[in-house]
């Protein structure tokens, strides 16, 4: 779905000009993310393979109501995952960092960082908890 300038501006302000997921202020190059993914299947064509075009798996989800403003890092990290699948990935960050990043393990040993096991709440969920109306 190609958004008009007015739709894009309204979407950007949906959460006060902040990313719906991490809450950081949106820059000039923010993304319109599909909350429930449409799952595009054109990656192989973009990679140069000559395979017949296939549309997205869920074209009925390509609506403004199914979009959130997102910073590029969040939208790229979310990819075509559902919010719940992405939440599981984010929740594993402590495990992955501890397993794979020696600098992080050193920072843990010296008390420079602390592991936190609180539930993953996206910015739009935090806002909803503050304003239940």
Q: What is the pLDDT of residues 29-54, one digit of tens each?
A: 999 999 999 887 665 555 666 656 66
Residue 18, pLDDT > 80, answer yes
Q: Quick one: pLDDT band at residue 71, thresholds 50, 70, 90?
A: very high
Q: How far apart are CA 13 and CA 84, in angstroms?
A: 24
Segment 102-109 shows an average pLDDT of 98
Segment 63-69 shows an average pLDDT of 96
Q: Which residue has the higher pLDDT, 57 or 128?
A: 128
Residue 111, pLDDT > 60, answer yes
- Domain segments of the chain as ranges: 5-130
> For position 57, what pLDDT does the model report?
77
Residue 21, pLDDT > 70, answer yes
Q: What is the pLDDT of residues 113-124, one digit of tens each?
A: 999 999 999 999
Residues 6+ apart with CB under 8 A from 39: 56, 57, 58, 80
> For position 49, what pLDDT does the model report?
64
Residue 30 CB burial class (10 angstroms; 0-12, 13-18, ≥19): buried
> For position 45, what pLDDT does the model report?
57
Residue 7 CB burial class (10 angstroms; 0-12, 13-18, ≥19): middle
């Amino acid at each position: 779905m190609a958004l008009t300038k007015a739709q894009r501006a309204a979407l950007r302000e949906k959460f006060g000009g902040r990313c719906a997921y991490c809450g950081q202020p949106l820059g000039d190059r923010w993304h319109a993310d599909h909350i429930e993914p449409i799952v595009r299947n054109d990656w192989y064509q973009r990679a140069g393979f000559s395979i017949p075009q296939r549309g997205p798996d869920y074209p009925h989800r390509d609506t403004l109501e199914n979009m959130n403003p997102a910073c590029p890092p969040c939208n790229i990290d979310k990819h075509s995952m559902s919010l719940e699948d992405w939440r599981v990935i984010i929740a594993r960050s402590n495990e992955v960092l501890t397993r794979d990043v020696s600098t992080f393990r050193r920072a843990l040993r010296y008390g420079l960082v602390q592991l936190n096991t609180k539930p993953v709440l996206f910015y739009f969920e935090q806002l909803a908890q503050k304003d239940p109306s």
